[in-house]
């Protein structure tokens, strides 16, 4: 079971089922015992009542037994008629054990069964006065009470009152079937109620999950979860998460500050270094070896300056201190200008370059230098990752009320597994390749492109097929819009 909700519901239902089953068992037992007791009381009082009637009648009339037509002793008709009204099995025996009276229920039994009853009643006085008796063959099981008649004349032996045990069992069984009917209903209700309770109890957890999920990167770390008024477990969890986010936000800010400060501090010594090397390089009569070493150093210094500048820009972007200086410009001018630089690069790499702009002006409010940087980054990549003889195409065109810039090349392409990472900082497809070798780079170019596009409220996308080429598509809104949240991931 995947969710706590499911587990809670299951536990709740099992606990309830066990409770119900135990309750039902106790109820059934109690009901059964009570029914047996009722039955016992009933036949005891039937026997007592019959005994009372016999005693009273004897006092009033004297003789209660007389011979029937066959000469067998029986009760006098008046008395017999009176006793007919007694329910259940009732028999009265004479002192010699012969049968004086049998109730309608008893008369309905077979001769053999009546004989069984008679024999019980005719047992010596010391015998049991109550018990259970199975009437043979396949007759009912009776619970009986025996009462010896001592004060109704010399003829009487005993009264036996008995009732079918089934009647006692029946009421308990009825209860059992009612329970069997109610139990599944109760369980289904428990399942529904349980899952409802669990869902409601855990709804705040789902809310917390959603809220935490929305905090995707360093830029949304300023957000806090809504803290409930009640400081229950979830309230405390929310509080703890919020405190954790405060700490995270602080460390992120410190990290950005550090990167920004470090890059800034590196700029001055780099400038001094470059000036020094440039001065040394122009010195006359320098041995060619020293010249080569100085040139290499200068190249490295330039690369490092670029890196430091890129780092500083990204750090400032993260801090929110890299504002855009928007001005309304014709994007065609920027595209053509950067296209020319691209053509120089392309010519150097023996790559064919093409620039396409629409006939109508494309006026948009952008930070011209940033957009220039974005296009140049994409063009540099396109030329860098396209072998000699390939082609690069830079195109500007409006689409759906937005402006679209595409840089397409016929180069080496990007493996599908690499696509999700190419906008990450310092990520390079072939990191094994040395920084100074062919296709050198730091892996910050696309991260900067992404930030520039998003800071303008636009997007940047890539499509690529290994060996066939890559197309980067940048869309920019025609009007100034707030930058999309998120920005380059921190
Ligand atoms: N047009 C392209 N064709 C093929 N792969 C590309 C292309 N553009 C980028 N990539 C891949 O994406 C990676 C990241 O590009 P990114 O521009 O961020 O870094 P870089 O060019 O290596 O270094 P730099 O910081 O100097 O630009 C590159 O290393 C390369 O593997
Ligand atoms: Mg690059």
Q: Whose CA is nearest to atom 4 of ligand 1?
A: 413
Residue 450 CB less than 6 A away from ligand 1: no
Higher-confidence residue of 152 and 237: namely 237
* Residue of 305, 422, 433, 466 best suited for mutating to test ligand 1, as the one with most atoms within 8 Å of CB: 422
CA of 472 to the centre of ligand 1 (A): 11
Average pLDDT over residues 35-45: 91
**Ligand closest to CA 307:** 1
Under 8 Å CB-to-CB from 396, ≥6 apart: which residues?
A: 331, 332, 335, 356, 357, 358, 362, 403, 404, 405
DSSP string, 33-70: HHHHHHHHHHHHHHHHHHHHHHHHHHHHHS--EEE-TT
Query: What's the pLDDT score for residue 171?
Result: 78
pLDDT tens figures, 373-414: 999 999 999 999 999 999 999 999 877 789 999 999 999 999
- Distance, CA 416 to ligand 2 centroid (Å)? 18
Nearest to 394 by CA among 448, 345, 443, 465: 345
Q: What is the pLDDT of residues 243-256, one digit of tens each?
A: 999 999 999 889 88
Q: Ligand 1 atom 17: the closest Cα is on which residue?
A: 445
Residue-level pLDDT at 409:
96
pLDDT range class, residue 126, cuts 50, 70, 90? low
Mean pLDDT of 292-309: 93
pLDDT of residue 428: 87
Q: What percent of the chain has pLDDT over 90?
A: 47
Kindly state the greatest CA–CA separation across the chain.
167
Q: What is the pLDDT of residue 1?
A: 62
Structural domains of the chain sorted by starting position, each given as residue range(s) with its CATH number in brackets: 4-170 (3.30.450.220), 233-319 (1.10.287.130), 327-477 (3.30.565.10)
pLDDT value for 95: 86
488 lines ligand 1 (CB under 6 A): no
Which whole number is the average pLDDT over 304-315? 91
| Bridge partners, 364 (sequence order) | 329
Q: Whose CA is nearest to atom 10 of ligand 1?
A: 381
- Is pLDDT at 434 greater than 70 in this prediction? no
* d(CA 442, ligand 2 centre) in Å: 7
- Residue 383 CA to ligand 1 center (angstroms) comes to 10
- Arithmetic mean of pLDDT, 424-450: 77
pLDDT band (50, 70, 90) for residue 488 = very low
For ligand 1, atom 9, which residue shows the shortest CA distance?
A: 381
SS3 of 377, please?
helix
Q: Is the pLDDT of residue 461 over 60?
A: yes
Is residue 307 pLDDT above 60, yes or no?
yes
Residue-level pLDDT at 328 = 94
- So what's the pLDDT on residue 152? 80
Query: Of the residues 430, 444, 445, which should be mutated to test ligand 1's pocket, given the most ligand atoms within 8 Å of the CB?
Result: 445
Q: What percent of the chain has a predicted confidence (pLDDT) above 70? A: 95
Bridge partners, 463 (sequence order): 471
H or E segment at 471? strand 469-477
Question: For residue 487, is pLDDT > 50?
Answer: no
User: What pLDDT is stored for residue 451 in this prediction?
Assistant: 94
Distance CA 428, CA 409 (A): 18
Whether the predicted pLDDT of 123 surpasses 90: no
What is the per-residue burial (b if ≥16 Cβ within 10 Å, else e) of 240-254? ebeeebeeebeebee
> Residue 179 above 90 pLDDT?
no
Residue 310 pLDDT greater than 70, yes or no: yes
Confidence of residue 437 (pLDDT cuts 50, 70, 90): low
Question: 490 CA to middle of ligand 1, Å?
Answer: 19
Q: If pLDDT is split at 50, 70 and 90, which confidence band does 150 have?
A: confident
Q: What does the DSSP assignment read for 211-242?
A: HHHH--SGGGTT--PPPPSS-SHHHHHHHHHH
The closest of 158, 141, 140 to 149, measured between CA atoms, is: 158
pLDDT tens digit string along 46-79? 999 999 998 998 888 888 888 877 878 888 888 8
Ligand 2 centre distance from Cα of residue 290 (Å): 31
Average pLDDT of the residues of the chain: 88
- Return the residue whose CA atom lies nearest to atom 20 of ligand 1: 443
Take residue 363 and report the two structure tokens written for it.
């006026």
Other CB atoms within 10 A of residue 397 CB: 12
Q: Which ligand is nearest to the CA of 439?
A: 1
pLDDT of residue 435: 47
Judged against a pLDDT cut of 60, whether residue 438 lies above it is answered with: yes
Question: Is it the case that residue 265 has pLDDT exceeding 90?
Answer: yes
**Residue 323: partners with Cβ closer than 8 Å, 6 or more residues away:** none
């Amino acid at each position: 079971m995947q969710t706590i909700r499911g587990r809670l519901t299951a536990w709740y239902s099992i606990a309830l089922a066990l409770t119900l089953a135990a309750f039902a068992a106790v109820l059934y037992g109690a009901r059964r015992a009570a029914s047996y007791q009722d039955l016992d009381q009933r036949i005891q009082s039937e026997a007592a009542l019959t005994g009372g009637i016999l005693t009273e009648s004897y006092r009033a009339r004297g003789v209660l037994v007389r011979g029937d037509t066959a000469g067998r002793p029986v009760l006098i008709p008046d008395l017999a008629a009176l006793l007919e009204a007694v329910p259940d099995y009732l028999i009265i025996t004479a002192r010699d054990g012969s049968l004086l009276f049998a109730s309608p229920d008893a008369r309905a039994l077979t001769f053999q069964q009546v004989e069984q009853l008679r024999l019980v009643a005719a047992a010596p006085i010391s015998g049991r006065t109550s018990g259970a008796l199975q009437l043979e063959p396949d007759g009912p099981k009776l619970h009986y009470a025996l009462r010896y008649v001592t004060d109704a004349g010399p003829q009487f032996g005993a009264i036996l009152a008995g009732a079918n045990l089934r009647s006692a069992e029946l009421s308990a069984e009825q209860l059992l079937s009612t329970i069997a009917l109610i139990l599944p209903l109760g369980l289904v209700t428990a399942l529904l109620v349980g899952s409802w309770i669990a869902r409601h109890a855990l709804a705040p957890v789902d809310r917390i999950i959603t809220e935490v999920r929305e905090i995707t990167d360093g830029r949304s770390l300023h957000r806090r979860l809504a803290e409930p008024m009640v400081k229950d477990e979830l309230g405390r969890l929310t509080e703890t998460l919020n405190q954790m986010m405060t700490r995270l936000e602080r460390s992120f800010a410190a990290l950005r500050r550090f990167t920004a400060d470090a890059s800034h501090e590196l700029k001055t010594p780099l400038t001094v270094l470059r000036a020094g090397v440039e001065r040394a390089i122009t010195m006359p009569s320098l041995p060619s070896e020293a010249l080569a070493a100085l040139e290499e150093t200068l190249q490295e210094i330039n690369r490092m300056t670029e890196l430091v500048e890129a780092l500083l820009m990204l750090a400032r972007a993260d801090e929110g201190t890299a504002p855009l200086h928007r001005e309304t410009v014709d994007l065609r001018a920027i595209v053509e200008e950067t296209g020319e630089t691209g053509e120089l690069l392309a010519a150097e790499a023996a790559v064919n370059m093409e620039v396409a702009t629409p006939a109508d002006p494309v006026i948009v409010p952008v930070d011209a230098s940033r957009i220039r940087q974005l296009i140049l980054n994409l063009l540099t990549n396109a030329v860098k990752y396209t072998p000699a003889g390939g082609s690069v195409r830079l195109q500007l065109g409006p689409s759906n009320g937005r402006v679209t810039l595409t840089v397409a090349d016929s180069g080496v392409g990007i493996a599908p597994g690499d696509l999700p990472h190419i906008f990450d900082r310092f990520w390079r497809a072939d990191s094994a390749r040395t920084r100074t070798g062919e296709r050198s780079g730091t892996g910050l170019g696309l991260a900067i492109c992404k930030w520039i596009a998003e800071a303008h409220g636009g997007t940047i996308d890539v499509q690529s097929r290994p060996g066939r080429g890559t197309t980067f598509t940048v869309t920019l809104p025609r009007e100034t819009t707030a930058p999309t949240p998120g920005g380059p991931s921190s």
